[in-house]
Structure 1
Amino acid sequence: MTITIAQPTTTDRETMTDGRAADAAADLIVALAAMPSDDPRRAALRDRTIEAWLPLARHLAKRYSGRGELTDDLVQTAMVGLIKAVDRFDASRGVDFSGYAIPTIVGEIKRHFRDRTWSIRVPRRLQELRLAISEANSTLTHKLGRSPLVADIATYLGITEEEVLEGLEGARAYNTTSLSTPLGTDGSAELGDTISDDTDEYAEVELRATLGPALAMLDAREQRIITLRFYGNLTQSQIADQIGISQMHVSRLLTKALVKLRGHMDVDAFN
């Protein structure tokens, strides 16, 4: 799964507005790249080079502030990317350091968001799939002039529709909301207050009335999997043994069936 990395911009390259400081930083990285690895002066020069390029790291970190992560944490992450860029830079390739450092630092920041900001831990494959689906959705919305269908996204990414549905389902773990979240301007009620208790018979009647027609929209295999899972209380592995398919296939079919049910029901009974 390929994750697009932001390309250097003119603004990024002009982050260090002091011309002399920028020239000095450029000279330091060139000198460091040319210095033999066993030179005793290299450690001190490396420290000076990293310090000289810190404004670039801070600038890129602030670009991603306001997205749920502390700015200090983003700056620390950007500094890790900067250090990697300094240590790996090869001046012989003919690329200026900023053109190499910017995607390296931005990539480190994006990995931080991918690995650290999920409310519920999910496999990295699903994390990367969520990012790919999000980017595909933005691109296709602009290209098609409408919200893309699951089939559109699957074709664009070269994956199956089941994989797209799996990625959308996995994305639900990215953010969670506390039941203590206040509602309204006066804060007199909380989100948890809106959840029905076991004595809410009206909600149960409504659920049963809408569930039947929604289940009828599923194919026979999907209906059987839903029945075995939620009425038979079987695990996905047990269902796989009964039907004769893999547990992963059961998981995908179950996800696809639940998405269909939500589309035909006014209440979300499967959270």
Structure 2
Amino acid sequence: MTAHTAQTAGAERAGAPVGLPWIEDAGQIAPQDARKLSKLFFQRLRALEEGTPEYQYARNTLIEMNLSLVRFAAGRFRNRAGGDMEDIIQVGTIGLIKAIDRFDLSREVEFTSFAVPCIVGEIKRFFRDTTWSVHVPRRLQELRVDLAKAKDTLVADLDRDPTVQELAEHLGLEEDEVSEGLVAANGYTAGSLDMPADTADPTGHAAGRRSYADVLGEPDPGMDTVENLHTLAPLLGELDARERRIIDMRFGQEMTQAQVGEELGISQMHVSRLLSRILLKLRSGMFTQD
């Protein structure tokens, strides 16, 4: 510990508990010195009342002194972090804080031995919970890992990709569970719609520089019509003969209300009222089915 980072143990300033040094920049303390000082700070921390300035000083200093543990643990995930290393450091710091709050000196375990697994565990949970492109249940997230390991083992033994049945037998699971896990694993990563589509035209030539977005289908408005007709069919069957005839003439034969009235020997106004009543009955029936 250098002179510019900490005063002597007897030196005090406002907010520093009795028996602890006032450390100007705890983040600059060497790891070896941090281990020694951490024991002293943990002893005093447990004797202080939570929420007091003295308690906050001791706890915050412990966090700053041991941030090197976070950087060490985060380094293991450098290849997976990509451009988000800062996020990994932040998540690891949460693990460090949890370790400080849970650490018990009476267990006679070095704080570093206790803290590093806590930090690594927090980072692993971060990857497990945030790297999936589509949210799936935790059970299926864990099954993806088991399936990946089983695939590697069976490929080495079989010299080919294993079947669902072989994976199920290897893992002691039902085939339906394995199938569900394989489908869910597709949600782990997602490709951009702007990526080139590996497609070909009917002549066998490359389709050009088209993206996946270019070859995706579009909603077919005709599908709504099919669904509506499918819903309407039983409702039309519930109409009486006269009501079905009016619907057929007006919408099937596309006759005007005046023509329908002339055919039935009633006024156009009467036809209008009848149509309104019939359509209201059909509309209410469709909403009830939805």
TM-score interval, smaller chain? 0.5 to 0.7
Question: For residue 59 of structure 2, what is the aligned residue in structure 1?
Answer: 46
**Partner AA of 1:66 in structure 2:** N
Q: Contact 2:197–2:212 (CA<8 Å) still a contact in 1?
A: no
**Partner AA of 2:38 in structure 1:** I
Supply the distance in 2 between the matched residues of 1:148 and 1:24 (Cα, whole angstroms).
54
**CA deviation map 1:66-105 (0-9, x unaligned):** 3256111111111111111111112222322222111111
SS at match of 2:79: coil
SS at match of 2:135: coil
Question: For residue 266 of structure 1, what is the aligned residue in structure 2?
Answer: none
Q: Contact 2:144–2:181 (CA<8 Å) still a contact in 1?
A: yes
Q: How many Å apart are 1:160 and its aligned residue?
A: 2.8
- Match among 184, 188, 192 for residue 212 of structure 2: 192
Q: Establish whether residue 65 from structure 1 lines up as the match of residue 85 from structure 2.
A: no
Q: How many Å apart are 1:110 and its aligned residue?
A: 1.0
**CA deviation map 1:191-250 (0-9, x unaligned):** 32784769xxxxxxxxxxxxxxxxxxxxxxxxxxxxxxxxxxxxxxxxxxxxxxxxxxxx
Paired residues in the alignment total: 176
**Partner AA of 2:182 in structure 1:** L
When residues 116 and 31 of structure 1 are mapped into structure 2, their CA distance, relative to the original with a 3 A threshold, is: same
Q: Contact 1:150–1:165 (CA<8 Å) still a contact in 2?
A: yes
- Listed as ranges, the matches of 1:226-241 within 5 Å are none
- Listed as ranges, the matches of 1:80-119 within 5 Å are 80-119=94-133
When residues 169 and 72 of structure 1 are mapped into structure 2, their CA distance, relative to the original with a 3 A threshold, is: same
- More contact order relative to length (CA 8 Å, sep ≥ 6): 1
TM-score, normalising length: structure 2: 0.51
Question: For residue 194 of structure 2, what is the aligned residue in structure 1?
Answer: 180
**Partner AA of 1:181 in structure 2:** M
Supply the distance in 1 between the matched residues of 2:110 and 2:91 (Cα, whole angstroms).
22
**What's the Cα RMSD here?**
3.2
When residues 159 and 42 of structure 1 are mapped into structure 2, their CA distance, relative to the original with a 3 A threshold, is: farther
Q: Contact 2:31–2:68 (CA<8 Å) still a contact in 1?
A: no
Q: How many Å apart are 1:65 and its aligned residue?
A: 2.5
Supply the distance in 2 between the matched residues of 1:145 and 1:22 (Cα, whole angstroms).
49
Supply the distance in 2 between the matched residues of 1:71 and 1:124 (Cα, whole angstroms).
24
- Match among 123, 130, 143 for residue 129 of structure 1: 143
Greater alpha carbon shift after TM alignment, 155-164 vs 99-108 = 155-164
Q: Establish whether residue 26 from structure 1 lines up as the match of residue 32 from structure 2.
A: no
Q: How many Å apart are 1:42 and its aligned residue?
A: 2.8
Q: How many Å apart are 1:181 and its aligned residue?
A: 1.6
User: Over alpha carbons, which structure has the higher Rg?
Assistant: 2
When residues 32 and 159 of structure 1 are mapped into structure 2, their CA distance, relative to the original with a 3 A threshold, is: farther
SS at match of 1:173: coil
Q: How many Å apart are 1:149 and its aligned residue?
A: 5.6
When residues 143 and 114 of structure 1 are mapped into structure 2, their CA distance, relative to the original with a 3 A threshold, is: same
Percentage identity across aligned positions? 39
**CA deviation map 1:109-161 (0-9, x unaligned):** 111111111111112221222233334445x3598585666556545654333
Q: How many Å apart are 1:182 and its aligned residue?
A: 4.3
Supply the distance in 2 between the matched residues of 1:136 and 1:153 (Cα, whole angstroms).
7
Supply the distance in 1 between the matched residues of 2:60 and 2:40 (Cα, whole angstroms).
13
